[in-house]
Structure 1
Amino acid sequence: MKQTERKIRLSIRYEVISEGEIGCIKHLCNELMAYQQSKAQIRPELFDSMCFETRMIPSVRSAKANFILAAKDGDELAGYVYSNISPKEVYANEFATFFDMDSVANEDVGCLSQFYLKEGYRNKGIGSVLFQRSMDWLNSFESIRDRFVFVSNGNDAALNFYQGKGFNISHQILDGFITVLRNT
């Protein structure tokens, strides 16, 4: 077999990251923001101020419960998923109101908030494992009836992925900047 035809073997392991250790995914979170900006066709400049410190840290602090799962290939972080349980009011802020508050029966919602895989690790089943473990965690909360995912415009691969996993488009916010998907 030629060297260029050689299959790359991955030895992926999944590790829960505690809130105190989230700094280890800072670079991946910042890569996610840059990736979303590169795909955005509507108001990409909104991503200029989005980074680990402005997105991940405030979200973790405002949540009632957090789940961060990293995919590791040896010592290299290949990707992560971040989900949380938060009061529904968290999603009505100075940036936007993400959904109709009256449409959510309970006080708390589940959200798959961030999901990122480095390019060389996509389309290998790793994302499906991260997604499923995130959903298992969200589903472990009996009081959570509403689960949301927010997809930035231009990220059609993510939109298709979530729709293939049972999420449905609910609506768009900020003139199409974000598509809100819901699974109840």
Structure 2
Amino acid sequence: MELKYEIIPDHEIEVCRELCNELMKYQKSKADISPEFFDSMNFETRLIPSVHKAMHNYIVVVKDKNEPVGYVYANISPKEVYRNDFATFFDMNSVQREAVGCLSQFYMKNEYRKYGVGSKLFNMSMDWLSSFDEVDDYFIYVSNGNDDALSFYQRKGFTVSHEILDGFISVLRSKKVRSN
């Protein structure tokens, strides 16, 4: 393995197309509740709109010998983005600031798991998210059935806040720890 981590600009997200579509298929394969929701979810309907709605984006692609094998996408977005026709993702009144941080998409090919790649991507994302003084609340949305991801994020300090869409998504939350 010759892993390389590349931070890519928004206009180069096309490199994530195949991985994003694999993520949606993976999530559908794990889902016990409403797996059909994933039928309309793909690169065009999930990643591109999210990047366009965000105030700031952070995309890291992991490559093995120039082949993309994983990615993470985090963003800083106006909290109102998370109230839409699909769902209201959290109680708007519980977020004091106007923007939230979100680790929005995170995926790596199965054969690259268990090598610390996920932890490195997670830490890179959290370091980036915590660099924004105007954000105190961080969210991660985990689809039902993805117990490995849920456990991973809980080990990293996130707690389940609530579920939405009758359990289709678990909302994980963490607050920024501010030093005096």
| Band of TM-score, shorter chain | over 0.9
Shift of 1:20: 0.7
Q: What is the 5 A alignment of 1:121-140?
A: 121-140=112-131
Q: CA RMSD in A?
A: 0.5
Task: Give the Cα separation in 1 of the matches to 2:93 and 2:105.
Answer: 25
Aligned pair partner of 2:99 in 89, 93, 108: 108
The C-alpha deviation readout for 1:104-130, integer Å capped at 9, x for no partner, is: 010000000000010100111000000
Aligned pair partner of 1:163 in 142, 149, 154: 154
Task: Give the Cα separation in 1 of the matches to 2:111 and 2:11.
Answer: 28
Shift of 1:73: 0.8
Q: Structure 2 unaligned runs (5+)? A: 176-180
Aligned to 2:16: 25
Aligned to 2:30: 39
Task: Give the Cα separation in 2 of the matches to 1:130 and 1:77.
Answer: 14
Aligned to 1:94: 85
Shift of 1:153: 0.1
Return structure 1 stretches of 4+ with deviation > 3 angstroms: none
TM-score (normalizing by structure 1): 0.94
Alignment size in residue pairs: 175
The C-alpha deviation readout for 1:25-45, integer Å capped at 9, x for no partner, is: 100000000000000000000
Aligned to 2:66: 75
Task: Give the Cα separation in 1 of the matches to 2:85 and 2:115.
Answer: 38
Shift of 1:13: 1.1
Aligned to 1:60: 51
The C-alpha deviation readout for 1:76-110, integer Å capped at 9, x for no partner, is: 11100000000000000000000000000100000
Match of 2:93, SS state, is: helix
Task: Give the Cα separation in 2 of the matches to 1:46 and 1:132.
Answer: 30
Shift of 1:162: 0.2
TM-score (normalizing by structure 2): 0.96
Task: Give the Cα separation in 1 of the matches to 2:167 and 2:57.
Answer: 27
Shift of 1:17: 1.2
Task: Give the Cα separation in 1 of the matches to 2:4 and 2:13.
Answer: 17
Structure ID, larger Rg: 1
Q: Structure 1 unaligned runs (5+)? A: 1-9
Shift of 1:157: 0.3
Task: Give the Cα separation in 1 of the matches to 2:55 and 2:12.
Answer: 17
Task: Give the Cα separation in 2 of the matches to 1:167 and 1:11.
Answer: 30
Shift of 1:11: 1.7
Aligned pair partner of 1:149 in 137, 140, 147: 140
